[in-house]
Amino acid sequence: MGNCLGAAVVAGAVAWFAARQWTEHLGHATLWTRLGEVFVPMTVASLIYIALAAMLKVNPARALLALLGSKFRSGRSDRI
């Protein structure tokens, strides 16, 4: 439980920082910059959370990464 909380705090801080940087450098004048302001920090924070949780040996995160890895590996070998 403590491992997940630590990973969540780090991911939240990264999301906050990324959103702040996005706003400072790109603003939110158009629809695309507004969408980026939401989805880019969210995606970055999600990837960091999954990576940290996997490094901290949280079983569901490791299982998710293993599943994604197997899908990418099997998808490449099936192509002609």
Provide the residue-wise pLDDT of the chain in tens; the chain has 80 residues.
677 899 999 999 999 999 999 999 999 899 999 999 999 999 999 999 999 998 999 888 889 888 888 877 766 555 54
Helices (H), 2-80: 2-26, 31-55, 59-77
Residue 45's nearest CA partner among 11, 2, 1 is 11
Tell the burial category of 42 from Cβ atoms under 10 Å away from its Cβ (0-12, 13-18, 19+): middle
- Tokens 């450098």 — which residue? 25
pTM for this structure? 0.78
Identity at 31, one-letter amino acid code:
L
